[in-house]
Structure 1
Amino acid sequence: MRLLPSLLRSGLLLAALSFAAPVLHAGGSTMRWFVQDAPPLFSFPGGQAPRRAADLGDGEIDGFLRLLIAELPQYRHEFFDATLPRFELMVKSGETVCSPLHKRSPDRLKDRFFTPMIPWLASNQLYVVLRRDQAEKFSDLGSPISLSELLQRQDLNGLLARDRSYGRQIDQLLQSSNQERVQTLSVRKGAQLLAMLRAKRMDYTLETKSEVSAYVDEGPDDLLMLPIKESQMDSLRYISCSRNAQGRAQIEAIDRAIRKMAADPQRETWLRTWLGPSSDAQERRRLLRYFDERARGGPQIE
């Protein structure tokens, strides 16, 4: 310990302590983001979870999140990869965490705040997915297919992801369905259920067009997607933060940042950055209408 006074006099210890201390933003505020490798919505480039905003991918959600974080410089942003049960435990234990990946539902409103982020893109509309060789069994359910009628069929078994929200109307249908014919399974990626469908473990599942397309690219085109009559194209994606004082401050900052982006005179530039130069013109117009409404409105926090 005799070295301590000399180190203090030389300034070496102070310099070392200064170097080791983390650099905090705006009074030490940190915004912690839940992330998962769930392409094409959110992907880990190189297979690694992001450590900073620049590491985020170019999908529908992670691409938008990178732009959003640029509007929140008052926070230091951290990212953590976790299972859904682990994330739920963190929220319920009082930790302040935010997520761009969870849908709004009445149960989740009990322990977290929500604010609208973006509309669902058309490429991520929900479909009934089945094997092509079973198409005849579904032919009498109409086109688009009536999910409410499908759920009543005693000869067709569905398997869905447990604890996943498919949208308010479809969630309500599922809750009132015949549970003997519609089972759920805890899965990390939608591709797991598609693989089980291909292996004839069930007759159908529910999945987005983009997820099915990405899966089929890796194998034979033996799966068929049927649009759902009850699926809501204009449903929204949300950002949520823990329902506590710190989470309230963070969701308010996020809501302000989204409204600022929506009102940006250069928003078509960042839209092209987010969607890519080859994005569908009709999709862009739909998004611009949404951002017009978001810019004119006040805070939207539940």
Structure 2
Amino acid sequence: MSRSFGSNIDNVINSSHDANIISRPGRDTLASLTYMLHKKRIDILLGYPSEHYYLAHSMGFENELTQLTLSEAPKLSVGYIGCTNNEQGHAMITLLDKALEEIAHTQSFEDILVRWLPDNLKPILEKRLRDRNESAAH
């Protein structure tokens, strides 16, 4: 609910009238859906690899999880921070933008990004981060 996986994937989801797509409200929807996936109560679950791997690891079945990359997915996803639309909120966004721009190009940041990825997906993200850093340097 209220998630976006990039315009290409969102368009596929929103135009798939023949698919049995379920929106499920709740406190920890992703954890309960991951559990249902493990119990074979659902067939597929769309989400980010690190969050599924983390949940499968915490539930003790990370070696039973198969993750596939969608060709329609953007190479890197962009995140957003929301603040109140007032003077203080605008000032905070300015500070956060500056801090995040500095952090985003550190080894510590990259280590955190790959920490909860399955081994087969780590090289893909590492390459995309290298490509991003090289294009930013030019």
Task: Check whether TM > 0.5.
Answer: yes
Match of 2:43 in 1: 203
Matching residue within 109, 113, 123 for 1:274 = 109
Identity percentage of aligned residues? 26
User: How big is the shift at 1:179?
Assistant: 7.2
Distance 1:208 1:272 in 2: 21
Is 2:122 the counterpart of 1:257? no
Instruction: Name the structure where helix makes up a greater proportion of residues.
Output: 2
Q: 1:251 to 1:193 in 2, by over 3 A?
A: same
TM-score, normalised with respect to structure 2: 0.66
- Give, in whole Å, the separation in 2 of the partners of 1:232 and 1:244: 32
Counterpart Cα distance in 2 of 1:183 and 1:238: 25
Structure 2 letter corresponding to 1:171: D
How much does 1:182 deviate? Answer: 0.5
Residue 120 of structure 2 is matched in structure 1 by none
Contact kept, 8 Å, 2:83 with 2:89, in 1: the verdict is yes
Once the two structures are superposed, residues 1-55 of structure 1 have per-residue CA deviations (whole angstroms, 9 ceiling, x without a partner) of xxxxxxxxxxxxxxxxxxxxxxxxxxxxxxxxxxxxxxxxxxxxxxxxxxxxxxx
Residues 1:185 and 2:20 are matched in the alignment: no
Compute the RMSD of aligned alpha carbons.
Answer: 3.1
1: distance between equivalents of 2:80 and 2:31? 23
Structure 2 residue runs without a partner (length 5+): 115-122
Equivalent of 2:13, from 158, 174, 193?
A: 174
Structure 2 letter corresponding to 1:273: S
Match of 2:77 in 1: 235
Give the 3-state SS of the residue equivalent to 1:251 in structure 2. Answer: helix
* Code of the aligned partner of 2:22: Q
Normalized per residue, the structure richer in strand is: 1
Give the aligned residue type for 2:96.
Answer: I
The letter of the residue matching 1:274 is F
Work out whether residues 197 and 204 of structure 1, in 8 Å CA contact, stay in contact via their aligned partners in 2: yes
Q: Measured at CA, do residues 212 and 288 of structure 1 come closer, stay the same or move farther in structure 2, by a change above 3 Å?
A: same
The one-letter code matched in structure 1 to 2:133 is L
Cα distance change on mapping 1:212 and 1:253 into 2, 3 Å:
closer
* Contact residue 4 and residue 10 of structure 2 kept, 8 A: yes
Deviation at 1:209, TM superposition (A): 2.0
Closer, same or farther in 2 for the Cα pair 1:220/1:248, shift >3 Å? closer
Q: Deviations over 1:172-203 (max 9, x none)?
A: 22222227610111242523211111223222
**Residue deviations 1:50-85, cap 9 Å, x none?**
xxxxxxxxxxxxxxxxxxxxxxxxxxxxxxxxxxxx
CA contact (8 A) 1:163 1:186 kept: no
